[in-house]
Structure 1
Amino acid sequence: MIGHLEGRLRHKAPDYIVIDVHGVGYIVYVPLSTFYDLPGPGDTVALNIHTHIREDAIQLYGFRTVAEKDMFLRLITVNGVGPRLAVNILSGLTPDDLHRIILQQEGFRLKSIPGVGKKIAERILLELRDKMSVKKGREAEQPAPAAESSYGDAYSALVNLGYRPAEAEKALGKAIKSLGADPPVEKLLKETLRLLA
């Protein structure tokens, strides 16, 4: 599974880019927030990657910050929200905006995003409300810590292995309690798989 890509930017379009890593071109779907921060073609680019595996395709989704990737991973746990829609949502709202919208239950702001209707907006608000912690002051503006990145990568791996999102979250929570704060993703995944066995 690919979690990070660094290479030369070969192609740049609003919905996807191509990153050349030692002669291999990877198509990576990106939100507009990431697209706007990209350098020009030919320059080096590095992105946090989520590998999405389907029966008929393996797709890569890239994000400039861990916070964007973390919010993407939360969004795709919502019933009816696939990776493309999650990218679309992050193209219109920053992770901090989305966090605030979910905590304040502002469905009308979500419905302004193309592809998000009333039912999807309600599901996002309902299913993610309890997963959002209240952040105060400048803490909300800071990038996610390494522990969240480990959690996000491990969570993504478990879901891609076929575990249900709720099952993966519960097991990851137990694993983090037993391993302590900020475990490396390999240890976290190993412990979580042991708990799920």
Structure 2
Amino acid sequence: MIGRLRGTLLEKQPPWLVVDVGGVGYELEASMTTLVALPGCGEEVSLHTHLSVRDDAHLLYGFAREQERSLFRALIKVNGIGPKLALAILSGMDEDAFIRCVMDDDIKALTRLPGVGKKTAERLVIEMRDRFPHWQDSTEVSAGDAGVGASMPPPKDPLADAEAALVSLGYKPSEATRMLSGLEETGSTEAMIKAALARRMAG
């Protein structure tokens, strides 16, 4: 089991990233929450990881914080929630926001997430309420470990990259376009995605 990686960030193309560890490039999929927290390419990063072994592939997921990985692992144990939907949930809200939604029975907020209908939201509330680990007591990843606060240079077409990333999270192309409409296009892809998700969750 690969539990953590520390190395040089080679590529960051939401929702994918590549980390060089001793000359080996590890490809990982991550939530927008983690991607926004990472520094630019060429910088050192440290990520908590989860390895999913399937018959046709070994898939590695990266997380800036241990709490986020804990929630991911709890989510994929819920009936009907796979890794892709779990990452979409983590991209749309952080751990504390998710806990509040579950504890407050906020079905409406959960259904704003891509791929989460009313029945799935109700299932999340019912099954997750008793599965919360002690995330509040977990040690946060330091800025030095995760590179929180740093940003990567904007790509050639951040708007197109942001739209593609939203589609990969489960939003329809037309919906992704609406979410990004009117946003400032001079920032990074990650910043645009974060702003679009915040707008979507605000209703």
Q: Same fold (TM over 0.5)?
A: yes
Provide the residue aligned with 2:112 in structure 1.
Answer: 112
Q: Can you list the C-alpha shifts for 1:7-65, whole angstroms capped at 9, x where unaligned?
A: 11110012010001111111111100110011111111110001111111111111111
Provide the residue aligned with 2:138 in structure 1.
Answer: 144
Cα separation, 1, equivalents of 2:50 and 2:83: 10
Provide the residue aligned with 1:61 in structure 2.
Answer: 61
Instruction: State the one-letter code of the partner of 1:15.
Output: P
Matches of residues 81-92 of structure 1 in structure 2 within 5 Å?
81-92=81-92
Q: Percent identity?
A: 44
Provide the residue aligned with 2:24 in structure 1.
Answer: 24
CA contact (8 A) 1:8 1:43 kept: yes
SS of residue matched to 1:48: strand
Number of matched residues? 140
Instruction: State the one-letter code of the partner of 1:3.
Output: G
Cα separation, 1, equivalents of 2:2 and 2:131: 25
Provide the residue aligned with 1:5 in structure 2.
Answer: 5
Provide the residue aligned with 2:127 in structure 1.
Answer: 127
SS of residue matched to 2:17: strand
Unaligned runs of 5+ in 2: 141-203
Cα separation, 2, equivalents of 1:125 and 1:37: 27
Provide the residue aligned with 2:47 in structure 1.
Answer: 47
Provide the residue aligned with 2:71 in structure 1.
Answer: 71
Q: Which has the higher contact order (CA 8 A, sep 6+)?
A: 2
Provide the residue aligned with 2:38 in structure 1.
Answer: 38
Unaligned runs of 5+ in 1: 147-197
Please provide the CA RMSD for this pair: 1.8
Q: Structure 1 length as normaliser, TM-score?
A: 0.67
Cα separation, 2, equivalents of 1:120 and 1:54: 24
Cα separation, 1, equivalents of 2:28 and 2:56: 17
Cα separation, 2, equivalents of 1:118 and 1:87: 18
Larger relative helix fraction: 1
Q: Can you list the C-alpha shifts for 1:138-178, whole angstroms capped at 9, x where unaligned?
A: xx7x55259xxxxxxxxxxxxxxxxxxxxxxxxxxxxxxxx
Q: Structure 2 length as normaliser, TM-score?
A: 0.65
Cα separation, 2, equivalents of 1:78 and 1:115: 14
Aligned: 1:15 with 2:9 = no
> After TM superposition, where is structure 1 displaced by more than 3 Å over at least 4 residues in a row?
none
Provide the residue aligned with 2:93 in structure 1.
Answer: 93
CA contact (8 A) 1:9 1:19 kept: yes
Q: CA deviation at 1:131?
A: 2.0
CA contact (8 A) 1:103 1:132 kept: no
